[in-house]
A = this chain, B = another copy of it.
């Protein structure tokens, strides 16, 4: 994490806290947020960074230590002179965040404690489309309950659930407005999953998968702390999540970052969406397979790629062995990746474009071509410094981001986990 790291606030409010309870909540949150963004800090550091009085920080710290949301991590020696200072770090090993992703053919789960320590990570094959929403919801609840049990056995009680869906999501209401690839429409996922979780009675937040992957990258990925960051999914479809000043960009209708159907070639192929020359027809996985393995293209009529991960591994093996046709195909796709990237950079001027899916798997062959084209096309030399970077999260970024929104909510209002009925046993 860098000094530049910005906060990820909840829905903004212009008003100042006026009641003692609200002030306490805000101040507890300020202290925890600072510890979340820094590995550890002394009380003096925190007072300086937050603008709170030393005495206030000490009182808050006593309370947070008692609730085991922070822990002493030893002595920090700062400089050659001056007395050493006791440092504290985020703790909350007993407070859990459960992140889920439901996609076309799998469900993934990622459970952490408050400090972000991974406790559960699992991916199960599941035919979401064939199962329909009711059976899918039951299965999602089952996966969540099992993960929750595993976390409980490790001493961590889940305090909230986040769900990533490849969909347009009404975030405020927790409703999946439209998930074309899942064939879901107007599904009140948060309410139904919360009730299906039964006695756990956990609050559920829902968001788009590319948005949550971007959030995961911003929070703990290869470009963590980069205030302006774009994430691109590299699958059959290409989606985008945009972080601006440390916050997810949603736009007027929650539709921002829709990169897959940018019109990049007026003379290009027809896209599945009915338009011509969409970016997805140039850089989606189907486009790569069609060029790299033309003998298989008869299978790709509907832009579906059977066993996509197997195809990508096959291409990776071909590239590693120097297959000329595959190298040319990747160079061609890489050039189009750079062209679309230049549109993103001209408009958003991000510090990094993190790529996931097959873009990450084939990064060593694909990204040099993409980077060269990006640099050629971007206006203004500082913006041209923006790098394509391969995600390190594999297919786990969305579920990791889903856990991150829970952690952020808890840090924004720690009093929710400081309910006297939930007070942890003395250590």
Contact = CB atoms under 8 A, between A and B. Distances in A.
A38 to B, nearest CB: 13
Nearest to A373: B263
B251 A53 contact: no
A279 to B, nearest CB: 10
A146 interface: no
Identical chains bound together, number: 2
A350 B261 contact: no
Interface in A254-295: 254-267, 273, 275
B342 A344 contact: no
Contacts of A242: 347
A262 B279 CA distance: 14
A7 interface: yes
Contact of A30 (B16, B168, B264): B16
Contact of A251 (B12, B49, B348, B379): B348
Interface string A229-262: 0000000000010101100011111111111111
A62 interface: no
Interface in A369-386: 376-377, 379-380, 382-383, 385-386
Given A14-B30, A266-B265, A347-B347, A255 B377 contact: no
A259 B228 contact: no
A258 B14 CA distance: 30
A249 B260 CA distance: 22
B15 A383 contact: no
A14 B255 contact: no
A415 interface: no
A351 interface: yes
Q: Which of A255, A258, A260 has the most CB of B within 10 A?
A: A255
Contact of A379 (B33, B249, B261, B347): B261
A334 to B, nearest CB: 15
Nearest to A258: B346
Given A251-B350, A263-B343, A343-B343, 13 more contacts: A7-B14, A14-B50, A16-B23, A244-B249, A251-B348, A253-B380, A253-B385, A255-B346, A255-B379, A256-B347, A258-B346, A262-B346, A266-B339
18 contacts: A15-B49, A16-B23, A168-B380, A244-B249, A250-B349, A252-B386, A253-B382, A255-B346, A255-B382, A255-B383, A257-B349, A263-B342, A265-B266, A267-B267, A273-B379, A343-B347, A344-B347, A347-B348
Interface of A: 6-7, 12, 14-18, 23, 26-27, 30, 33, 49-53, 168, 226-228, 240, 242, 244-245, 249-267, 273, 275, 339, 342-344, 346-351, 376-377, 379-380, 382-383, 385-386
